[in-house]
Amino acid sequence: MDKKQLIDDLLAVRVKSPLVQNITNYVVMNNTANALLALGASPIMAHAKEEMVEMTSIVSALVLNIGTLSNEWVDSMILAGKTALKKGIPIVLDPVGAGATSYRTDTCLRLIKECKPSVIRGNGSEIMALVDSDIKTKGVDSSVSSSSALDSAKYLAKEACAVVVISGEIDYITDGEKVIEVRNGSTMMTKVTGMGCTATALVGAFLAVNSDTLTASANAMAIMGIAGEISATKSLGTGSMQVNFLDELYIISEKEINRYLR
């Protein structure tokens, strides 16, 4: 990874404060909004179909997260996604729980087909489920390692013409040919709800300031991992971890990037 580009992207987010629209789930709205604010971006959590075209037209990135799925929200996602696609606004899809039910998997495949997301970010099981319908996930948690899903991610990236990000002990970011590995983070992050959803939102913020989708995605995951890794060392448990993580996103600088990036 290019540390200078990572630092430049982080500064760009803080200077430009891009507006990132999130059609996301009830569980993580507050977490996601606060993480984007701590990073320096500007979140908007809008999902009403009646305002989708107007709202999506003014944002710098669109994040679609199917965590708490409903038909009404799917309609809004499709409308927002098509609007973003038409206007050249980057889209990030988080296929939460793909593989747990056919409804979730089919919805993700529909979003990929109709909205053509720039990035698809999920855990190993979710990414594999989008390639093989026989793969089943453990609710919204992964039952396989990120490395086990790498071949599926490469295939999906080529089929969807998107960058695919697999979160895990090692984060893999691929366009189907190139693969970037990010080896930062902490196992404590898996015990805090919404960390994956937060990663997806951060990818949206970085896409808003860097048109190189592969690099922007990798840089977002690096910042996520470094902040998580540092905050875990300062936390007594998962409660303080959530607060410390936001603090680290807020104060992270070139110094931490140079010291921790792996």
What share of the chain in percent tops pLDDT 70?
96
Q: State pLDDT tens for residues 128-169.
A: 999 986 666 655 555 577 889 999 999 999 999 999 999 999
Owning domain of residue 9: 3-260
- At 127 the pLDDT is 96
Residue 65: how many CA atoms within 13 Å on its side-chain side? 30
From the CB of residue 255, how many other CB atoms can be counted at a distance below 10 Å?
Answer: 9
DSSP states of 60-86 as a string?
SEEEEE-SS--HHHHHHHHHHHHHHHH
Q: State pLDDT tens for residues 219-254.
A: 999 999 999 999 999 999 999 999 999 999 999 999
- At 137 the pLDDT is 61
CATH of the domain at 125: 3.40.1190.20
Copy the structure tokens of residue 90: 């980057």
- At 139 the pLDDT is 53
- At 146 the pLDDT is 86
| 44 neighbors 21 (Cβ within 8 angstroms) | yes
Number of domains observed in the structure of the chain: 1
